A and B are shown apart, each in its own frame.
Chain A
């Protein structure tokens, strides 16, 4: 028992938790924009994977992780554009489009990895290494949790707060939400519904791509097949649990990261619990939390419904 407490007390646990939570957080923040505008984006997984892949390609050929990140985001935006075009302009079923995109991206990334590098053996690239915030990283406990992380962490927190501000405190956010609540009314108010939904999906693509970039350039410094491994779907769950709020998404993503980090850290201690069962824990917890909040959540009224003028 005390060994569990040791794990829970270790600062490394929380540092890992944040690291694991980040890709999911970025994707979830993107999804908040999409869903607030009325779009369910199941293609999140594919956008992350594309971001991870293109990020590595970009970093490899330019030698700069920053340019890699930009290229990763642009590639994910490309996928988002397909999702947007088919689901917004053509009124294709949002969920089906997403599922198809996920598989296509899985195939394309794995195909290209093999086409570029023999056997799909992607080399290591320069990524975002941990970055010690001057002064602050010296703080006890909090210093090593919060301030000795990859620089993208600060970006993530800033993006979460900024998203919250944009969605709830600006007229742009108000209009975007109107498109997700009642596109028909929004249209009659002169709000260009398609344009807002497109913008939301582009933002979603960019952030999901950034989440993917963090997976490849912030953690493993390389690309492997299907490396997003379902995190896009977890981000979908995070958005529901967070009840469509960017700030709560911060908490929900961290919660998931914490359980995953816990499962990983328990393995390196001599506690005798099966590692694999511990790794199932984050998913069980996600299900339980979801079951707990579902009654209280009110999704955007027109979520998942295509809009067209009669």
Chain B
């Protein structure tokens, strides 16, 4: 996979390719918006306003970036091992479930401790879900593409059952959600602009970077992704590594769920995640499977989605625009990174240089 989007080459080519893909996606997006009769200039201004126009907007954008980037980091680690974690959605739900159970039941504890326990519980919940997929893969050889999707459904229905039954908010007029978490368990926002979740992101990205770039386990993960035979011959625990990356992905997915619960949502419902798991996959793809790339991509997507949903009513842009842009962008990224197109781009660049002279 690492080659699917990260075709080799120098930084200039990388920027050129990403730029071309971005341009393509923007063009497709613009066509859709124009067809819908949207005033593009106004829409662009409004999106900008709603994503970075004020400290409130920035806070909202960062909050949007938290779950997708955390899930994305987990997806990225798995990608590097050639494993597709499509289970972000289920991991988020299980993480948020574990977190809400802990926070509501231990509400007597002091705030910071409660937050810490909530986040850890989230990782345990998500890790369990990722670990199941990992175990099924390494023990029985089941494709994680199938199992993670099935586990998403199972997690969703478990949560759906619980929030309509045992842990439903008794004062919620029958809505399918839990009680709200105590205020002291909410993640603080630093300076009214930087939510703690965003700090968590940077820390997580840094840890994943160290894991991938500075440990032997990281080298194992990457070499597994490049081909199993070499890894097996060199004595890598191939099955074990496959399990580990799905476990790590689960931990991060669970953390994403817990961080969203404590940082923004405040309660668990069965409409808790608006597809963060799959947006997380896109985030990792755009980030080319690297920790830093995923962090940057996650923040950008956070600003984009938050801007679009903020501009929705004023500029008449459907939120689905964000999905179109992301899907098409990734599609173009794949296309511009295939060998055929890379060769073509290179030739075009060379003839351009010649023409300048």
Contact = CB atoms under 8 A, between A and B. Distances in A.
A276 B165 CA distance: 10
A284 B279 CA distance: 25
Given A102-B327, A287-B150, A91 B338 contact: yes
Nearest to A120: B318
Interface in B260-312: 275, 278-279, 281-282, 285
B145 interface: yes
Interface stretch (A68-76, A109-117, A124-132, A194-202): A109-117
Contacts of B175: none
Count class of interface residues, chain B: 35 or more
A255 to B, nearest CB: 14
B154 interface: yes
A288 to B, nearest CB: 10
Given A100-B331, A101-B331, A291 B35 contact: no
Q: Is the interface of B mostly helix, strand, loop or mixed?
A: helix
B58 interface: no
Contacts of A90: 334-335, 338, 340-341
Count class of interface residues, chain A: 35 or more
Nearest to A87: B334
B4 interface: yes
A111 B320 contact: yes
Contact of A110 (B158, B323, B338): B323
A117 to B, nearest CB: 12
A42 interface: yes
B147 interface: yes
Given A92-B338, A106-B323, A295-B141, A86 B318 contact: no
A294 B142 CA distance: 7
A240 B149 CA distance: 14
Contacts of B326: 103-104, 107
A64 B275 CA distance: 34
A274 B161 contact: yes
A290 interface: yes
B278 A102 contact: yes
Interface in B122-180: 136, 140-143, 145-147, 149-154, 156-158, 160-161, 164-165
A93 interface: yes
Nearest to A280: B157
A291 B141 CA distance: 8
A276 B157 CA distance: 5
Contact of A100 (B151, B161, B320, B334): B334
Contacts of A159: none
B330 A96 contact: yes
Contacts of B158: 276-277, 280
Contact of B327 (A105, A230, A234, A277): A105
B144 to A, nearest CB: 11
Contacts of A106: 275, 320, 323, 327
Interface in A255-310: 274-277, 279-280, 283-284, 286-287, 290-291, 294-295
Nearest to A282: B153
A204 B149 CA distance: 21
Interface in B16-47: 32, 35-36
A103 B282 contact: yes
A284 B146 CA distance: 12
Nearest to A91: B338
12 contacts: A96-B334, A100-B331, A230-B149, A230-B153, A236-B149, A240-B143, A277-B158, A279-B160, A280-B154, A286-B150, A287-B136, A290-B142
Given A279-B157, A280-B153, A294-B141, 9 more contacts: A82-B331, A89-B340, A91-B340, A93-B334, A104-B328, A111-B320, A233-B146, A233-B149, A280-B154
Interface of A: 42, 82, 86, 89-93, 95-97, 99-108, 110-111, 114-115, 230, 233-234, 236-237, 240, 274-277, 279-280, 283-284, 286-287, 290-291, 294-295
List the 6 shortest-distance A-B pairs measured between CB atoms, nearest first.
Answer: A104-B327, A107-B323, A93-B4, A276-B161, A107-B324, A280-B157
